[in-house]
Amino acid sequence: MKALVFTTKGPIPSVLQVLSDHPKPSPGPNQSLVRIIASGINPADAKNVQGSFPQTTLPRVPGRDFAGVVEGGEEDGMEVWGTGGENGYTRDGSHAEYIIVDTAALASKPKNLSFSQAASCGVPFLTASAMVSKADVKPGKHVLVLGSSGSVGSSAVQICKFIGATPLESSRRSQAGAVDISADEIASQTANLSNGAGVSVVIDTVSDPALFKKALVTLNRGGKYIIITAPKSGDLAFNALDLYRADRTVTGVNSNSISFAESSAFLRKMTPGFENGTLTPPKVIHEVECEQDAVVRAYQGVLEGAKGKYVIVFGEKGKL
């Protein structure tokens, strides 16, 4: 089968290879073989090849997100999507024509999404959903989303709306209906935009030290602050007195620690939202064939912050 493989970690053009004769995997007991039609590329996939994740064992097929069709077994023909777990790290991932997954963790693909659209949603929506879940966001509450125009942040905005909460989006300049995070303080803005109700949760997808301090004090008593990344220094400072007196908490979410089965549970919960149009895939999707030059360019584009989502397609059926 065709597969992306790296046998050592380092610069993507040097270590990432497209193999046309990589062994096709065979499912064991309680496992299913999925023929991948489309698989998304995330920044973590590229960083994994470069060596950012010490837990990764080699040789390895990278990739976490996919959409495809089950081949064989009781679920033969089932159209599925998946993300998360050890895929791409300690077991072969989704940047190949086939992948093995636990049958109990299969999740049906939203009927209205193409395979490429479904494959583009995994990690961003999984991470956002895990953040919202960790914060125990409730209907009617206001949630400040930092980095709301990014892949995870925009997913968090959609998920908040899906469950009945009100997201407050953020911007680096003055923009109607959004919190201008370039201001010296932002608490007055969140109070105004929430009609005095205040913010119960902050979803922080950027972890800028200065913004962290401004956003933390916007929280109501008992509010929760959720982070998924860190600044280059690794440090975020806060006033511990203010934190405990207001019963606030700061919590991290690591999507890499979410098992494939847990990830599938998140996807199943979101499926109705995709099928009724409340949740939507990325508007810009770049489809690439599984060819050496094309996938290397796509990986590098992801690292460079290119707009839109890169998706590897296997066969015509994956195309939009």
Structure tokens at 118: 């479904």
Is this prediction's pTM over 0.85? yes
pLDDT of residue 244: 95
Identical fold at 3-121+281-318 and 127-255?
Answer: no
Residues in Cβ contact with 239 at an 8 Å cutoff, skipping those fewer than 6 apart: none
pLDDT at 317: 58
Residues of the chain with pLDDT under 50: none
Q: What's the CA gap between 141 and 63, in Å, rounded? A: 35
* Predicted pLDDT of residue 320: 55
Tokens of 209: 């030290």
pLDDT at 174: 87
pLDDT above 70 covers a percentage of the chain that reads 98
Domain positions in the chain are 3-121+281-318, 127-255
Superfamily of 127-255 according to CATH: NAD(P)-binding Rossmann-like Domain (3.40.50.720)
- What's the pLDDT at 191? 97
Fold of 3-121+281-318: Quinone Oxidoreductase; Chain A, domain 1 (3.90.180)
pLDDT of residue 198: 96
Site of tokens 């942040």: 153
* 220/260 Cα distance (integer angstroms): 34
Is 192 in contact with 178 (CB distance < 8 Å)? no
Quick: pLDDT tens for 111-127.
999 999 999 999 999 99
Residues 193-252 have pLDDT tens digits of 999 999 999 999 999 999 999 999 999 999 999 999 999 898 999 999 999 999 999 999
